[in-house]
Amino acid sequence: MTVIATAGHVDHGKSSLVLALTGTDPDRWAEEKRRGMTIDLGFAHTRLPSGATVSFIDVPGHIRFLRNMLAGVGAIDGCILVVDAKEGWMPQTEEHFQILKLLGLNHGVVALTKTDLVDFELATARRSEIKAKLRDSFLSEAPIVGVSVVTSTGFDEIRLTLDALVAESQSISASRNRNRPRLWVDRSFSARGAGTVVTGTLIDGSIKLDDELTVIRTQQRVRVREIQQHEQSANELAPGHRCALNLVGVSHDEIFRGDALVNKDQWLPSTMFDASLTIVPTLQHRVTRRGSYSVYIGSGEFAAKIRLIGTRELHASESAFVRIALPTAIPILPGDRYILRESGRQQTIGGGEVLDISPTVRASKARPDRSVDRVISERQWITVKDLELLTGEIRQPVVGSWLTTPKLLDEKRKELAIKLTKSSEALEISRLKPHEQAVLAALPDVVVEMGRARIKGASSITEHPYVGLFTKAGVTPPDTKTLDRNIVRQIVQRGLFVDIDGTVFHVSALETARQEVLKILQQYPQGFTVSQFRESLGITRKHAVPLLEALDRRAITKRSGDLRVGGARLNGEPTQA
């Protein structure tokens, strides 16, 4: 199905055209009937001669309701630009036309309405005027179909023209399916006996009954109880279709136009994005970062702060890049289109294409584009999942689940290889960053033991000759001043050595000392002195004092004045550092 929006000046016959094509009056409100003009969005659908179904979004033409118009054109496939044959091209015709161009549309048709009110010469003049206005635009070759709802002329021709438009746009609509559904809400109401119902155009992925979605603004989780398309219930809906969803888990007064429904795990809502910006040709003043701006994306209107990239100001018809900051996070992707308006002057400034969401580079150095390689390069290391959230693109990882540049990958491989070969201690994997762990795991001839990595065939630090030396020395270890302190430190970290204020023992020496304490206490149950401990072991005070300090710290002994008595863990297993 294709979604078509009407566009044009107020009272040029947009709603009457939709009514004649579909049999449905898109003007829903009593005030619209009274005024004779559209105030809010209207919706209708019809079946074309080919059997294809097309949905219409009828938008307001009056300048006072332009924000409602913008809410309706955020997810459309084409347009009908409506021009009154009697009045011709008018100010809102021009503004709507510029907005449609900024939205990046490729398909459309021009309806020259009320042809029953003009003669052949004026109708011909209007066609020439319209062609001049559309020159060098996406509508430059669009058919101009004259119609009249009074005489019913031209409607067979415009239906056939819409059939051709639908066929052209279907290939583009099919490419929208990223398997990550997103629905921008344009209406929310309560239906009797059903509860909350929202409407919108589904893009980017399919939904089905009982799917769980999230309202991004409030983070409320909702369940899809019913799906309706063209007033018919459906079990599943593909992207590119207008729909109504009956939701469980949210009240109709908690979800509004501009809210987005998504699968939370598939989107990375952002409050900042870089984009292209093209200024409309009719703007009469310069554009700078100063001013009160609003951004229109999807069906939403959001207050925005802008910063031009690479320039201080822009004028009519000029283009540049811009960084846009929003007060609330929204689910967007590169390729989304937006419109920028100045709130104070109520003017459309311009618009463009989202290029980078959640940018990491400072605005002064940013060079945004749609390149996935640029995103990887700027972030240096990024997971496949995060890249998909940021760009919508899926890449095969270069190592583990990670993506990076060939240069950074090569540098990290060399860095880790050097650490493995130069250090006598195995690398402690927990101290590495996640992407470093992935690179380490992919290196050849690397052995991982007890959370530490070393080169295959390399001796472990636990097998170093120092270990045997200290084991043999027992309670009279060698002075570490003559040894490699770095190696000693590594063995201490592995728990094989115990360092007591600079005196180092093998951990087995503590068990020897504990057994000696048990013997001494049998002879001196009230406690023993350092001298008695020293004499019993046959060692000097140099080693006796730090040994007792080690036993004290492990609750094997405890001090009582000048004596030491048994501690809480004297009869337990010896504590190893």
pLDDT in tens, 393-402: 999 999 999 9
Instruction: Give the mean model confidence (pLDDT) for residues 515-535.
Output: 92
Upper half-sphere CA count for residue 7 (Cβ side, 13 Å): 32
Instruction: Give the mean model confidence (pLDDT) for residues 373-390.
Output: 96
What is the tens place of the pLDDT at every residue in 233-292?
999 998 888 889 999 999 999 999 999 999 999 999 999 999 999 999 999 999 999 999
pLDDT of 401 reads: 96
Confidence of residue 63 (pLDDT cuts 50, 70, 90): very low
Q: Say how far residue 408 (Cα) sits from the centre of its chain.
A: 24
Q: Collapsing DSSP states into helix, strand and coil, what is residue 31?
A: helix
pTM: 0.75
Phi, psi of 314 (to 5 degrees): -130, 150
User: 111, 145 in Cβ contact below 8 A?
Assistant: yes
H or E segment to which residue 543 belongs: helix 541-553
Q: In whole angstroms, what is the distance from residue 202 CA to residue 494 CA?
A: 58
Domains 182-266 and 270-391 share a fold: yes
User: Beta-carbon neighbour count of residue 515 at 10 Å?
Assistant: 10
Confidence of residue 74 (pLDDT cuts 50, 70, 90): low
Instruction: Give the mean model confidence (pLDDT) for residues 150-179.
Output: 81
What is the tens place of the pLDDT at every residue in 181-203?
999 998 898 887 788 999 888 98
Confidence of residue 575 (pLDDT cuts 50, 70, 90): very low
| Average predicted confidence (pLDDT) for the chain | 87
Instruction: Give the mean model confidence (pLDDT) for residues 401-406.
Output: 96
pLDDT of 23 reads: 86
pLDDT of 574 reads: 46
Q: Produce one character per residue of 524-537: b if its CB has 16 or more CB atoms within 10 Å, e if not.
A: eeebbeeebbbebb
pLDDT of 201 reads: 87
pLDDT of 423 reads: 64
Angle at 453 (CA atoms; ends 452, 459), nearest 5 degrees: 100
Return the higher-pLDDT residue of 355 and 187. 355
Q: In whole angstroms, what is the distance from residue 565 CA to residue 563 CA?
A: 7
What is the tens place of the pLDDT at every residue in 86-143?
999 998 899 889 988 988 888 899 999 999 999 999 999 999 999 999 999 999 999 9
pLDDT of 569 reads: 87
Q: In whole angstroms, what is the distance from residue 566 CA to residue 577 CA?
A: 20
Q: In whole angstroms, what is the distance from residue 439 CA to residue 433 CA?
A: 10
pLDDT of 67 reads: 56
Q: Say how far residue 335 (Cα) sits from the centre of its chain.
A: 14
What is the tens place of the pLDDT at every residue in 444-472?
888 787 787 877 765 667 777 788 889 98
Q: In whole angstroms, what is the distance from residue 534 CA to residue 469 CA?
A: 22
Return the higher-pLDDT residue of 410 and 30. 410
Instruction: Give the mean model confidence (pLDDT) for residues 366-383.
Output: 96
What is the tens place of the pLDDT at every residue in 129-163?
999 999 999 999 999 999 999 999 999 999 999 99
What is the tens place of the pLDDT at every residue in 310-322?
999 999 999 999 9
Q: In whole angstroms, what is the distance from residue 438 CA to residue 399 CA?
A: 6
Which homologous superfamily is 270-391 in? Answer: Translation factors (2.40.30.10)
Task: Report domain extents, the chain.
Answer: 2-174, 182-266, 270-391, 406-455, 465-566
Return the higher-pLDDT residue of 260 and 421. 260
pLDDT of 465 reads: 78
Q: Residue 297 pairs with which residues in a beta bridge?
A: 300
pLDDT of 464 reads: 79
User: Beta-carbon neighbour count of residue 558 at 10 Å?
Assistant: 15
Sign of torsion over alpha carbons 487, 493, 495, 497: positive
Q: In whole angstroms, what is the distance from residue 464 CA to residue 480 CA?
A: 15
CA distances for 228 relative to 306, 402, 566, angstroms: 39, 41, 80
Confidence of residue 36 (pLDDT cuts 50, 70, 90): very low
Architecture of domain 465-566: Orthogonal Bundle (1.10)
Taken as a whole, the chain contains a residue count of: 577
Q: In whole angstroms, what is the distance from residue 64 CA to residue 350 CA?
A: 18
Q: In whole angstroms, what is the distance from residue 149 CA to residue 155 CA?
A: 9
Q: In whole angstroms, what is the distance from residue 493 CA to residue 81 CA?
A: 76
Q: Residue 63: which of 32, 42, 35, 94 has the closest Cα?
A: 94
Return the higher-pLDDT residue of 95 and 303. 303
Query: Considering only 12-21, 23-32, 282-291, which range has the smallest mean pLDDT?
Result: 23-32
Architecture of domain 182-266: Beta Barrel (2.40)
Confidence of residue 38 (pLDDT cuts 50, 70, 90): very low
Look up the CATH number of domain 2-174.
3.40.50.300
